[in-house]
Amino acid sequence: MCGICGVVYGSGGKADEAALRRAAGLIAHRGPDDEGVFIDGPAGLAMRRLAIIDLSTGHQPLSYENGRYWIVFNGEIYNYQFLRAELEARGHRLKTKSDTEAILALYRDLGPACVQRLRGMFAFAIWDKKERRLFIARDRLGKKPLVYAQRPDGTLLFASELRCLFALDPGLPREVDPVAVDMYLSLQYIPSPKTIYKSARKLPPAHTLTWQDGRISIAPYWDLPLGRAPVTTDPEEAKRLIREKLTESVRLRMISEVPLGAFLSGGVDSSVIVALMSRLSDRPVKTFSIGFEEERFSETRFARLVAERHKTDHTEFIVKPEMAEVLPKLAWHYGEPFADASALPTYYVARETRRFVTVALNGDGGDESFAGYLRYAAMKAAKAADSLPRPALAALRAGAELLPEWNAPYGTAWRAKRFLRSAVFGDLPGRHLKMIGYFHEDEKPALYSEPFKRTLGADLGAAVGYMSRAFNACEGQDFINRLLYVDYKTYLPECLMAKVDIATMACSLEGRSPLLDHEFVELVYGLPGAWKLKGLRGHKWIFKEAFRDLLPPEILRRGKMGFGIPLGAWFRGPLKDFWADHVLSKDALSRGYFDERGLRAYWDDHQAGRRDHGYRLWALLMLELWHRHAAGSGAPGAPSCAQ
């Protein structure tokens, strides 16, 4: 696990070692154990290493074939031992015990097709000295990040984090992309290939980038198995396959030469991972959970049930967030506006876990594989409502607008209002966007300033097109699998994976996600959607049935609870002045995005208790905190996780 960066000049330039080291220093939190730089004329590679496997000979940049190929690699290849044995049987002479060298040997044999053989999480760059070619790849599900920028002269810059690009080239333009801001306020994240800057791009998941002679080409190499016949039509066979494949995935992710544990929230997904780890381990598994003082946002009692059932070495943290200190730190680490509020508890659990272990397995991906989110049931119910007679549907829609506002998030009344106002309106992409979105497209005109609306022009509401393209790509799938496909292509890589990668790597902790093994994902996606969401309340039915014997009954019966925080109460209490001092400040208003009256309308509504705008206020705050970091200095050093 590392942080990587590099440059290759398009017209007569030479890579600068000092600039490479400065850029790598900005991601030292990703790799505190080692540093390396390689320069070959116009090309330069740099890395920071968090040593997990092959502690003695895994130094990077690493070379192969008498120094022809050089690599910097961020991630873990879980099938590397199998690949190494296969490579050695074909005559390769490997000098290290690392997964990194296996990638290089595969690239020598297969070229860009090497990515098809890799099972894991990765972002890597390979420089071919002979062909003067740079090859970059990112893993299928977007677990590891890769950003890049290309200058007009053909020069290519790449890195694990955006700030490195500006350290490599201080002259790189920093103009904010207004469309990215608009999409962020809809989605809570900025989707690939966009970044907050016009000059920089994200390499999308499951894509490769090749640079040669100043030109780049980008190509996809993987997708979910659309249009294939069902893996099985027998639910009992499906349970067996799920159990076998996930057990294998967990076993592969327990390979480590440093201390290893697991996040345990007490939800079904992390509980299953811990149960399998316990079966595969000859010693108690180290598990970690976090809670807040606000009882309804704390899952620690459920985590304790699982820890007791499987006799884990369990550590529980109850934290009282120090927001004024932590929030600017989070804004710095994410490098662009990011509004998933669960980044805060994820950061806290990563910070505390890192005191005990260097690697932690998690339950990420279970909701997207097995229809765990409540919105899947809401969308299914909305689809059924479409079959109502037109007068009844019109009455239902009109009645939704007459219902009073409720300001207690996640209560039954709140959910009913949200469903009726969102799910029963519009086409499928529009419904989905309203279910997941922060600021809806019909609300933005009152929030945005007139100059900002003119700047956006026809691009106002770009998130609608983004979501429509995702739905169009999976036409023909059954209804639930279509919803899952969209989340696999949007929310999961762009939000969930970004959140976990940044929060864990900020603390030099490696996170591993067995449920996102691509072979497991392919298997599960090929099962009928009706087995994942049975009726309207049977979330994760086939998954729960496959592991029923390993979980306490309370875990199987409990409903979905997100990794949430009490934002509504915080913005009326400890964060009230902090928010107003930032978002309503003269500097913030001068950025030109918002009409002050529109901003104050949300604020006043929230303070008066008329509506709970906690998540919207959070998005506005994180946008302003990012701006302050971006304006404060070009490339500040990383805040320490221990601070």
d(CA 115, CA 122): 10
Mean pLDDT value across residues 233-240: 97
Same domain, 106 and 178: yes
203/382: higher pLDDT:
203
Domain assignment present for residue 29? The answer is yes
**Whole-number percent of the chain with pLDDT over 70:** 91
In a domain, 163, yes or no: yes
pLDDT at 385: 80
At residue 207, does pLDDT exceed 80?
A: yes
- Is the CB of residue 344 less than 8 Å from the CB of residue 621? no
Residue 376 has pLDDT above 70, yes or no: yes
Does 114 qualify as catalytic in the annotation?
A: no
User: Residue 157 is part of which domain span?
Assistant: 2-185+195-220
Judged against a pLDDT cut of 70, whether residue 411 lies above it is answered with: no
pTM: predicted TM-score of the whole model, two decimal places: 0.94
- pLDDT value for 630: 86
Q: With beta carbons less than 8 A apart as the criterion, state whether 33 and 51 touch.
A: yes
**Per-chain mean pLDDT for the chain:** 90
Q: Residue 395 in 3-state DSSP?
A: helix
Chain position carrying tokens 């016949």: 229
Give pLDDT, residue 640: 42
Residue 641 pLDDT grade (very low, low, confident, very high; cuts 50, 70, 90): very low
d(CA 562, CA 487): 16
Residue scoring higher pLDDT (509 or 319):
509
Q: Which residue has the higher pLDDT, 66 or 642?
A: 66
Instruction: Tell me whether residue 336 is in a domain.
Output: yes
261 Ramachandran zone, left/alpha/beta (phi>0; psi -120 to 50): beta
Is the C-alpha dihedral spanning 390, 391, 396, 402 positive or negative?
positive
Distances (CA, A) of 414 to 325, 382, 393, 405, 417: 32, 17, 21, 8, 5
- Other beta carbons less than 10 A from residue 544's beta carbon: 19
Are 149 and 64 part of one and the same domain? yes
In a shared domain, residues 96 and 18: yes
277 and 366 part of one domain: yes
At residue 632, the pLDDT reads 55
Summarised one tens digit per residue, pLDDT across range 41-76 is: 999 999 998 877 666 666 889 999 889 999 999 999
462 in any annotated domain: no
Q: Which of 60-74, 104-118, 143-157, 377-391 comes out lowest in average pLDDT?
A: 377-391
Place of tokens 């299914």: 380
Express each pLDDT in 326-369 by its tens digit: 899 999 999 999 999 999 989 999 999 999 999 999 999 999 99
Residue 19 lies in a domain: yes
- Domain identity same for 258 and 363: yes
The verdict on 55 and 168 lying in the same domain is yes
The answer to whether the beta carbons of residues 264 and 306 sit under 8 Å apart is yes
Q: What is the separation of C-alpha 122 from the centre of its chain, rounded to a whole number of angstroms?
A: 14
Instruction: Give CA–CA dist 182/188, Å, rounded.
Output: 10
Q: State the pLDDT at residue 590.
A: 96
pLDDT attached to residue 642: 39
CATH number (domain holding residue 73) = 3.60.20.10
Shared-domain flag, residues 18 and 156: yes
Does 319 have pLDDT greater than 80? no
Same domain, 343 and 301: yes
Same-domain status, 335 and 366: yes
Residues 199 and 73 in one domain: yes
Q: Structurally, how many domains does the chain consist of?
A: 2
Task: Report pLDDT digits (tens) over 505-558.
Answer: 999 999 999 999 999 999 999 999 999 999 988 999 999 999 999 999 999 987
Pairing of strands 43-49, 34-40: antiparallel
| CATH code, 272 | 3.40.50.620
Higher pLDDT, residue 490 or 631: 490
- Give a yes or no: residue 449 inside a domain: no
Q: Are 198 and 175 in contact (CB under 8 A)?
A: yes
pLDDT score of 635: 42
pLDDT digits (tens, 9 = 90+) for 603-614: 999 999 888 899
pLDDT score for 6: 98
User: What is d(CA 486, CA 513) in angstroms, rounded to the nearest whole number?
Assistant: 20
User: Of 400-409, 463-472, 582-591, which gets the smallest average pLDDT?
Assistant: 400-409
Return the pLDDT at 435. Answer: 87
For 78, 213, 480, 618, the CA distances from 372, given in Å and listed in that order, are 26, 47, 11, 24
| Assigned domain for 477 exists | no
Q: Say how many C-beta atoms besides its own lie within 10 A of residue 384's C-beta.
A: 10
pLDDT at 292 > cutoff 90? no
Are 6 and 135 in the same domain? yes
Higher pLDDT, 304 or 319: 304
pLDDT at 633 over 50: no
| Residue 618 covered by a domain | no
Q: Based on the domain organization, do 109 and 157 belong to the same domain?
A: yes
